[in-house]
């Protein structure tokens, strides 16, 4: 299970994990596999594959996650969302994962397709909340389930207390750990951890794995803000826009360097605060994440420059 992996020996100061996205086409799939082979040499505790909203991407996701289990040394976690699925379909999907030897699932509600902030409408024969999905998976076999957590609070939660209660309920339902939404301020992560510990010490002992995205362009920081539904703090915006310069084109090398610095500083602080693992949102590229890992003291060169 993931929790066992987190206490196993690892390279560098802390275990790390990598998030992949389903590729859109053959070219994207080739790129994903290049990243997979690089990460394989760096021995992440686990890798995870996000779950999209469209039918064809969904099929591809299930297939590729199965291939990760069968053809690599990596431990894959399959994200699963309740969007547009009946309970019968969710059961079939969990069964398809089990058939491919995948026992680790991240149970999510998902967002309305097209507009993440739009109105959520449950499938008439589906589930309303991730907590129900955790219960459902539990009835289907011997799975290890994780859930999402939100350092700044979920954008639909009326307040942080409600948000904390929901996370605690998902953990009580049987989730063994959570992975956080990306965040800009480590304090938000620490406060989330404190809230869960205060609300329920037993559930608070379960790992809260922080999500990190090494930013490589102004577009990607905006994407990170969109994905997390969070407002980028003015000091962070200033740092990146300064690096971008006032020329007609953004100074990509400087923005990237600041992005790597920012992710490294975030990671160092998280390690100092005892985070159980660092979960890197890779966007299917290995370079930025391995650069950050190198800065954290992981011997990436030995892993990356293997003789042909």
Which listed residue (19, 132, 152, 291) is catalytic?
19
Distance CA 47, CA 49 (A): 7
Under rule CB under 6 A, residue 156 binds ligand FAD: yes
Instruction: Answer yes or no: are the C-beta atoms of 300 and 48 closer than 8 Å.
Output: no
Instruction: Answer yes or no: are the C-beta atoms of 163 and 192 closer than 8 Å.
Output: no
In the shown chain, the binding pattern of residues 187 to 226 toward ligand FAD, with x for contact by CB under 6 A and - for none, equals ------------------------x---------------
Residue from 94, 102, 163, 258 in contact with ligand FAD (CB under 6 A) = 163
Smallest distance, ligand FAD to C-beta of residue 298, A: 22
The per-residue b/e assignment along 216-250, b for 16 or more CB within 10 angstroms, e otherwise, is bebebbebbbeebbbeeeeebbebbeebbeeeeeb
Smallest distance, ligand FAD to C-beta of residue 20, A: 10
19 is catalytic: yes
Smallest distance, ligand FAD to C-beta of residue 128, A: 7
Residue 81 or 264: the one with the smaller Cβ distance to ligand FAD is 81
Instruction: Answer yes or no: are the C-beta atoms of 181 and 157 closer than 8 Å.
Output: no
Q: Which of residues 72-111 bind ligand FAD (CB under 6 A)?
A: 79, 81, 108-111
Instruction: Answer yes or no: are the C-beta atoms of 264 and 13 closer than 8 Å.
Output: no
Beta-carbon contacts of 161 under 8 Å, excluding residues fewer than 6 positions away, are none
Smallest distance, ligand FAD to C-beta of residue 272, A: 22
Contact positions toward ligand FAD, by CB under 6 A? 50-51, 79, 81, 108-111, 129-131, 148, 154, 156-157, 162-163, 166, 170, 179-181, 211
């Amino acid at each position: 299970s993931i929790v066992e992996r987190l206490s196993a020996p690892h390279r560098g100061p802390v275990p790390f994990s990598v998030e992949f996205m389903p590729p859109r086409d053959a070219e994207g799939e080739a790129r994903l596999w290049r990243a997979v082979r690089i990460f394989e040499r760096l021995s992440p505790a686990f890798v995870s594959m996000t779950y999209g909203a469209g039918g064809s991407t969904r099929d591809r996701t299930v297939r590729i996650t199965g291939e990760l289990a069968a053809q690599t040394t990596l431990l894959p976690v399959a994200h699963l969302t309740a969007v547009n699925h009946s309970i019968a379909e969710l059961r079939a999907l969990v069964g398809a994962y089990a058939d491919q030897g995948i026992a680790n699932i991240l149970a999510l509600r998902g967002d309305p397709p097209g507009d993440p902030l739009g109105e959520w409408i449950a499938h008439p024969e589906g589930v309303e909340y991730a907590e129900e999905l955790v219960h459902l998976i539990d009835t289907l076999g011997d799975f290890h389930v994780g859930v999402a957590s939100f350092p700044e609070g979920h954008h639909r939660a009326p307040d942080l207390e409600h948000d904390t209660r929901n996370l605690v309920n998902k953990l009580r339902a049987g989730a063994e750990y959570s992975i956080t939404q990306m965040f800009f301020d480590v304090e938000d992560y620490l406060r989330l951890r404190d809230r869960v510990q205060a609300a329920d010490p037993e559930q608070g002992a379960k790992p809260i794995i922080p999500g990190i995205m090494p930013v490589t362009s102004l577009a990607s920081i905006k994407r990170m803000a969109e994905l997390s539904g969070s407002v980028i703090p003015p000091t962070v915006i200033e740092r990146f826009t300064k690096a971008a310069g006032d020329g007609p084109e953004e100074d990509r090398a400087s923005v990237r360097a600041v992005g790597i610095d920012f992710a490294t500083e975030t990671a160092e602080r998280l390690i100092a605060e005892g985070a159980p693992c660092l979960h890197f949102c890779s966007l299917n590229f290995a370079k930025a994440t391995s650069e950050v890992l190198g800065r954290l003291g992981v011997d990436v060169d030995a892993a990356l420059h293997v003789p042909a």
